[in-house]
Chains A and B, each alone.
Chain A
Amino acid sequence: MPDKLIVSVSPHIHSHESTPKVMWSVFFALIPAGIVGVFIFGLAALKIIIISVLSCLVTEALIQKLTHRRISIGDGSAVLTGLLLAYNLSSNVPFWIPVIGGIFAIAVCKQAFGGLGANIFNPALAARAFLLASWPKHMTGFSKPFSPDAVTSATPLAMLKEGKVADLVQSGLSYMDLFLGKRSGCLGEVCILVLLIGAVYLLWRGYIWWYTPAGFILTLGGLSWIFGVGGFFKGDFLFSILAGGVILGAFFMATDYVTTPITKKGQLIFGIGCGVITFIIRRFGGYPEGISYSILMMNATVPLIDRYVRPRRYGVKK
């Protein structure tokens, strides 16, 4: 017979889902993109990934140690931040870029706000924005795919931005090249195929939902097509989706739980907002790419979206 019984408020059973399980699943869904990144850009890419992940992990552990909190690096969230940061960097940045990026992401963007669940901005993207503002030269030189000598080359979007349409045509990039990742760009964003495989896995597991990515991708593609450089309805839908970081951003960063709206309707609004801002930046702004900034700007609107977009309550008439 028992001598002591546990007494607590209901419910007494729980699902087997846990945050580490979700985080590690996202991590593993991203691994194929990393492998392809290393294949395309060489071991330099692997070096960047490892440094970035380690930087995030060490920063998280140190801060938790210093503030006398439980060290929770096993939950996968810092690892994931490190991985996403690396995927948003070029493979030829100096080693200290991911070090500083990781420290900034975890210390300033996450822990300063109160740790997991309390940050407003996506830490990996905020760190990328910080690095881009501080060391633009390092952040905008991208390696050419399959070039051992680290020859740099402009990304397809940059060529388009600078009006070098001729270069773009000359480079002979087909949609299939873009889909498979045979282009210069951030090391984790280039191979659309494997990113989509990871995304489908997460959608199937129910760890992410389609609202944000669908809103994001369709808005961006649609606007790019309608307001094409060559005239109304003459834009290139597929190119706008395949050439930049929108697949990585829409499926893996705009779906981050902490920094996006709670309701499904809110998530759709969030995705559409990201699409609109990205389009405006790409078409009218100073940068060729706008995924990071669009997500960061929409992160700032999340409290507002959550305030006004609520689920319909049972028994309450509108």
Chain B
Amino acid sequence: MFRLEEHKEETENKAIAKTVLPSRAYIPLSQHLGRICNPEVKIGDSVSTGQRIAAADARIYAPIHASLSGKVTSISDWPHPLLGRCKSIIIQGDGQDKSQIPNPKSQTDIENLTPEQIRNIVFEAGIVGMGGAAFPTHIKLSPPSPVDTLIVNGTECEPYLTADYRLMLEKTKEILQGIELVVKCLGVKKVYIAIEDNKPQAIEKFKIQNSPPKAGPPSAEKFKIKVLKSQYPQGGEKQLTKNILGREVPQGKLPFDIGVVVHNVATVFAIYEAVYLGKPLYERVVTVTGDCLENPGNFLVRIGTPLSDLITQCGPLKKKPEKIIFGGPMMGFAQYSLDTPVIKNTNGVILFSDTEIKVAEEAACIRCSRCVEHCPLGLMPCLISLACQKERWDAARSYGCLDCMECGLCDYVCPQRRNIVQAIKRAKALLNR
């Protein structure tokens, strides 16, 4: 664990703003872990905002919705932030943003919903884990064995990103309502809202909103607000279970194996919107930042909005971008095209100039042990990277490379700039083949 330079000050005071509707939306058919969707519309079809346009015949997937009203002009390969290229539905917007979204439900309707009905609404809304992994949320709402604890992840430990933070400040009540829904689905007793101590305002807001309705002892608060130290990677599921509950997820297992489910705050907010407002996941909050932009900020962005539109929105450019990242700077993905669209798990878009991005040659390991000291999983990254260099894959496995969650901290602290994560990704791909 390590305290990184956070660079959150550029956007943390920028309220969530709406973007201009993109003229075209490029909606990839794979935005989740699981089966890729098949289009349910044809070229030339008219679609409305929020209409389901793609689904799959499988259990683990999430349906995909139109984020604009307009015409489907093409269904073809298009740049994808994670996969390089992916089959995508391209919608030419009509500028009217007509939507089919039903009227909001009343409080009694919502209180009468069964867990099964909530799960179904979440599935129909196409919600996935919005913190990064994009695992379909309805699956995480129906664990195969009983769970006792829910952790709502509002740590946002990646530098530069403030989207979750703004959401927590501006939509505190909605997030708490979303948590109630999740609690109903999971039947858990204990709920922790995890926030890092670099977000005192968010902690304060949650403490006020979460206080018991009438005069009562302070211990009667519904959910526990857990203030965690600001250090990377505090928001990893394994770190959260350890630092909040003192329980470790056994090697090769998932948090629900020890009775814990972790949901990101943005996901919980999407659940609120789906259940209360009937709104499927077709837009999300994205931090657009980096030292190249004149006007960085947090924006409510339609899924499928291309990168070039976001740059226009936040421009003009102060400096020439050398590297553009979707996600955070520690675990995000570098992009090769300005056509790449925002997808369901894009929490940030960062434009770095050459002053922030220094390309350095990889040098020999000097065994300084910084990576071993900071690895949150107790692995020996330097030895894994040396083993990979010599293509000794069994040795790489014995040093724990398959357990690695690729948080990138070893790489970050390496004084020799060794590409440790790259080596580990390669080893994993080869060992899992």
Interface positions of A (Cβ within 8 A of B): 1-2, 5-15, 17-19, 21-22, 114-118, 257-258, 260, 262-264, 306, 310-317
Contact = CB atoms under 8 A, between A and B. Distances in A.
Contacts of B400: 313
B356 A7 contact: no
A264 B378 CA distance: 12
B42 to A, nearest CB: 33
A109 to B, nearest CB: 15
Nearest to B416: A19
B383 A262 contact: yes
A310 B377 contact: no
Contact of A15 (B308, B332, B375, B413): B413
A15 B5 CA distance: 9
A5 B335 contact: yes
B411 interface: yes
A311 B322 contact: no
B327 to A, nearest CB: 8
B336 A1 contact: no
A17 B409 CA distance: 13
B408 interface: yes
Interface string B349-368: 01010001111100111111
Nearest to B372: A262
A9 B421 contact: yes
B372 A10 contact: no
A118 B390 CA distance: 14
B390 to A, nearest CB: 12
A10 B322 contact: no
Which 10 A-B pairs have CB atoms at the shortest separation, nearest pair first? A11-B408, A117-B364, A9-B422, A314-B377, A313-B378, A257-B368, A311-B378, A315-B251, A6-B323, A7-B334
A2 B322 CA distance: 7
Interface stretch (B18-26, B43-51, B112-120, B242-250): B242-250
9 contacts: A8-B419, A8-B422, A11-B421, A13-B330, A14-B360, A18-B416, A313-B379, A314-B249, A315-B238
A266 to B, nearest CB: 9
B189 interface: no
A21 B322 CA distance: 26
A317 B375 CA distance: 18
Nearest to A263: B372
Contacts of A262: 367, 369, 372, 380, 382-383
Given A5-B336, A262-B369, A313-B251, A19 B403 contact: no
A311 B357 contact: no
B415 A21 contact: yes
A17 B334 contact: no
B412 interface: yes
Residue of A2, A21, A262, A315 with most partner-chain B CB within 10 A: A315
Interface in B214-243: 238, 242
Residue of A115, A116, A311 with most partner-chain B CB within 10 A: A311
A117 B385 CA distance: 14
Nearest to A13: B329
Nearest to B7: A13
A181 B370 CA distance: 34
Given A2-B320, A17-B415, A315-B250, A10 B356 contact: no
Contacts of B311: 1
- What does DSSP make chain B's interface, helix, strand, loop or mixed? loop
B263 to A, nearest CB: 21
Interface in B322-345: 322-325, 329-338
B366 A19 contact: yes
Nearest to B312: A1
A257 B324 contact: no
Given A5-B335, A314-B403, A13 B356 contact: yes
B425 interface: yes
A12 B325 contact: yes
B412 A118 contact: no
Residue of B248, B250, B367, B417 with most partner-chain A CB within 10 A: B367
A261 to B, nearest CB: 8
Contact of A1 (B338, B352, B409, B416): B338
B364 A115 contact: yes
B334 A264 contact: no
Given A257-B368, A315-B248, A6 B421 contact: no
B415 A12 contact: no
A258 B251 CA distance: 31
B212 interface: no
B106 to A, nearest CB: 45
Residue of B159, B360, B377, B378 with most partner-chain A CB within 10 A: B378
Given A262-B382, A311-B375, A17 B421 contact: no
Interface string B247-272: 01111110000000000000000000
Contacts of B350: 12
Nearest to B403: A313
B352 A12 contact: yes
Given A264-B373, A314-B238, A314-B377, A117 B323 contact: no
B257 to A, nearest CB: 10
B2 to A, nearest CB: 8
B415 A10 contact: no
Contacts of B252: 315
Nearest to B414: A14
Contacts of B180: none
Contacts of B359: 6
B154 interface: no
A172 to B, nearest CB: 44
